[in-house]
Amino acid sequence: MGTAQQQVLEELARLTEEFSTAPSLDAMPRRTLADKDVAGPTSAHVIEEIHTPLNFAYTTFTTGSTAFQNIVGVTWPELPERAAAGARALRRAGACPGDRVLLCYAPLGNVFSRGAFEGASVEPIFLPHSSRDAFLVALCREKPRVVVGESSFLRVALEDAKKLGIWEAIPEGVHLLCAGTPLDMELLPLAEECDIGVHDLYGCQEFGWLVMDGAPLRDDLTLVPDAEREGWAILVAGGLPTGDSFPMGGAGHALNADGPIHTYARQRTTPELEVVVRACTAQSEMTLERACRSILRIKGRIVRPAPGVRIAAETNELALVEAWPSGRSVAVVGDQEKTKLFDCLLEAQEQYQATAKSDPLWMKGR
């Protein structure tokens, strides 16, 4: 390499270091588990650094049951409603400003989002180890106002407390916010012995918290009669089906006579429902088509435009149809308030299209 070439390269290197607008790895923004308020241990995960697109507020995963967990993207436009519902749940569970909330399973914090803890002015804390023993130590020493955890785990831990003779050390006035799995009804009489409050929280990573003690946490929930089960209803969040059906009415929820949705007895909706968009507020059919693909990828819900869909409509009109082979229409959600989540995802798609990729190393079709 000649002297002149060497000088040019040295000048390029100097300019890159001093004036480049493209970040180095060290200069890239970082979002840690602590930043997301989910910095707790689990034995079911590894901590892996990933490149998360700037159009996501954060990424998380479904909890999974018999299938692999799927990645979930949470967009910025949907974050305010999601955080408000989480804060509402914490307040209903008795959390007051300044209280500590113990999360037994850290990923449940992603269902709240950090904004929920900030909105309720509470401090999330976590176990030092993912075990029942660590939970009992944290419960008795840290004295949280609210505990968020899976109900069977909490029941067995309380049974351990009785066996170990530390029942009296359990703090007074603590509330158990049971989430993640259907409520273990055997927990209720055990908690009553120690005057512990119990609440049943239902939601998912895709949509956040939706129902607490049988009562909605959001205004954009719709209950559609389940044709396969008399007296049951399918829960639809913001125009998108959750995939779960619940018994309705009767004497109300086991923890709330005024809560009509029996979330502890849920069943998967069969057949699954898909969404056909008959009208939408998006300004172009291309935006709608792209949003439908995005919703499938980040929320796992099948959404597709109807032939002749009306674009730039005043309100969304979403038809819920049974999946193949019947394709039968079950209901239509046409109220703008009831399709708020769908509108937020349309907004996220429009924002994404309006923001060009800023990384010159990723240019398609050049």
Instruction: Give me the pLDDT at residue 2, please.
Output: 81
Instruction: Give me the pLDDT at residue 49, please.
Output: 92
Instruction: Give me the pLDDT at residue 366, please.
Output: 53
Residue 319 to residue 308: CA distance in whole angstroms = 14
Beta-carbon count within 10 A of 37 CB: 23
Which long-range CB contacts under 8 A does 122-128 form with residues at least 24 apart? 122/90, 122/95, 122/96, 122/97, 122/98, 122/146, 123/98, 123/99, 124/37, 124/100, 125/100, 125/101, 126/39, 126/40, 126/41, 126/102, 127/40, 127/41, 127/102, 128/41
Residue 165 to residue 151: CA distance in whole angstroms = 21
Instruction: Give me the pLDDT at residue 12, please.
Output: 85
Tokens 């069969």, residue located? 270
Q: What one-character DSSP code corresponds to residue 145?
A: S
Q: Residue 73 is which amino acid?
A: G
Q: Answer whether 322's CB lies under 8 Å from 271's CB.
A: yes
**How many Cα neighbours within 13 Å face the side chain of 7?**
3
Instruction: Give me the pLDDT at residue 357, please.
Output: 66
**How many Cα neighbours within 13 Å face the side chain of 280?**
32
| Positions in the chain short of pLDDT 70 | 65-66, 356-358, 361-366
Domain ranges of the chain: 30-218, 273-354
Structure tokens at 319: 């038809």
Q: Which residues pair with 160 in a beta bridge?
A: none
Beta-carbon count within 10 A of 58 CB: 18
Instruction: Give me the pLDDT at residue 122, please.
Output: 98
Beta-carbon count within 10 A of 314 CB: 8
Going by C-alpha positions, the residue among 274, 255, 283 that lies closest to residue 325 is 274
What residue spans of the chain are helical by DSSP H? Answer: 3-19, 79-92, 108-112, 114-120, 132-142, 151-164, 187-193, 285-299, 340-354
Q: Looking at domain 30-218, what is its CATH homologous superfamily?
A: ANL, N-terminal domain (3.40.50.12780)
- Output b/e per residue, 3-16; b: 16+ Cβ within 10 A: eeeeeeeeeeeeee
Instruction: Give me the pLDDT at residue 101, please.
Output: 98
Omega into 29 within 30° of 0, i.e. cis?
no
Q: Residue 291 is which amino acid?
A: A
pLDDT digits (tens, 9 = 90+) for 254-296: 999 999 999 999 999 999 999 999 999 999 999 999 999 999 9
**How many Cα neighbours within 13 Å face the side chain of 6?**
3
| pTM score, whole prediction | 0.93
Instruction: Give me the pLDDT at residue 68, please.
Output: 85
Please state the length of the chain. Answer: 366
Residue 347 to residue 75: CA distance in whole angstroms = 9
Instruction: Give me the pLDDT at residue 82, please.
Output: 97
Kindly report the average pLDDT of the chain as a whole number: 93
